[in-house]
Structure 1
Amino acid sequence: MYLYEIFQKALAGDHQALFFCIAAYGCLACAVSVVLQLRMQRWKAVDGQLLQAGAVKVGHENLATEQHYMAEALYVYQVAGREYRGSKVSSWVMSASGSLRGVSLLQLKGIKHKADGSIVVYHHPDKPEKSMLIRPGRFSILLTAGLGTLPVVLYLLRYTG
């Protein structure tokens, strides 16, 4: 009942209720992300071959400053004798505007290259078609947890004094 009342107040424009809803949503979204990232840390590693990597344009903007770029890769790997293709670089999907295109390429530096020319591919243990090249680390998990906690802390500081 309390959450329903808060939601109704937020719809009516009450600042505190709106802030509460935003803080709760942000906290919940980041908590789910932390759980998923913790699961991804346990994904199996296999060797793969990088076919292509670079920054791709996202969107249909005509002005160079309005264009956005994302890191993208195409790779192949085998699990239990079956070949799979993947394109996901990381659990963190980042885009950069046209003038900062190079920033999206920095994410590709996290790909682990082996001496024999292969790369490390991480795949879901039960669903090997789900894969990525950069497994979430402690820093990204802590950052996500911090981002989820920040709106709650700001809410508490503002409204509970």
Structure 2
Amino acid sequence: MQAVWGYVQSMWQQAWQGDVQAILFWVAVYCGVVGIYSLAFQLRIRRWPAAPGVLAQAGVERWGGPEWVRSDQQYSLKSAYRYRVDGRVYEGHRVSTWVMVASHNGRFLLEAQLKGVQRHPDGTVSVFYNPKRPHKSFLIQPGRVGLLITWVIILGPALFYWSRFHGG
């Protein structure tokens, strides 16, 4: 254990000195910690129950930059919905755990994300809510692709670091 702690301390000192190996070590550690937290969050949300909701608004919103300079424009999802849990009405605005901001050319990703909202023939949508805190909700549960991307975020930097500096 002392050897591990010594390695961590050494990497910290070397990172402050600008050593590329040490910086990549801490990038891998950061991606691992954040990725594991995100993965746990996504897996928990996959177990949330659904309630029928009424969608008041769901679309791609443009912000930033003048209208005539498309390269400076940013896009994000904007939504508003209501749903009922145990007789109480709640309002939500979150679409997905994947919060994305896209450029003018990448806004199609946001439009594709909106297609993941489960719409029903009666005009309602599925709202996935936290059973312990029903005011927390999403319109889209995390899917397999999102979980796979999270695994890549967790493992990719660590594997790159290991192969670059410790691999054969």
TM-score of the aligned structures, taking structure 2 as reference length = 0.90
Letter in 1 for 2:22: A
Tell me, yes or no, if structure 1 residue 158 matches structure 2 residue 164. Answer: yes
Question: How many residues end up aligned between the 2 structures?
Answer: 160
TM-score of the aligned structures, taking structure 1 as reference length = 0.94
Listed one character per residue, the Cα deviations across residues 25-77 of structure 1 (whole Å, up to 9, x for unaligned) are 0111111100000100111100000001111124x323321111012211000
Letter in 2 for 1:39: R
- Please state how far the C-alpha of 1:96 moved relative to its aligned partner: 1.5
Moved over 3 A (4+): none
2:120 match: secondary structure: coil
The equivalent of 1:96 in structure 2 is 102
- Please state how far the C-alpha of 1:13 moved relative to its aligned partner: 0.6
Alignment RMSD, CA only? 1.3
Tell me, yes or no, if structure 1 residue 65 matches structure 2 residue 71. Answer: yes
Structure 1: how far apart are the matches of 2:18 and 2:108? 41
Question: Which structure 2 segments of 5+ residues have no match?
Answer: none
Question: Which structure 1 segments of 5+ residues have no match?
Answer: none
2:142 match: secondary structure: coil
Structure 2 matches for 1:1-161, cutoff 5 A? Answer: 1-2=5-6, 3-58=8-63, 60-62=64-66, 63-161=69-167
1:54 match: secondary structure: strand
- Please state how far the C-alpha of 1:99 moved relative to its aligned partner: 3.1
Residue identity over aligned pairs, in percent, reads 38
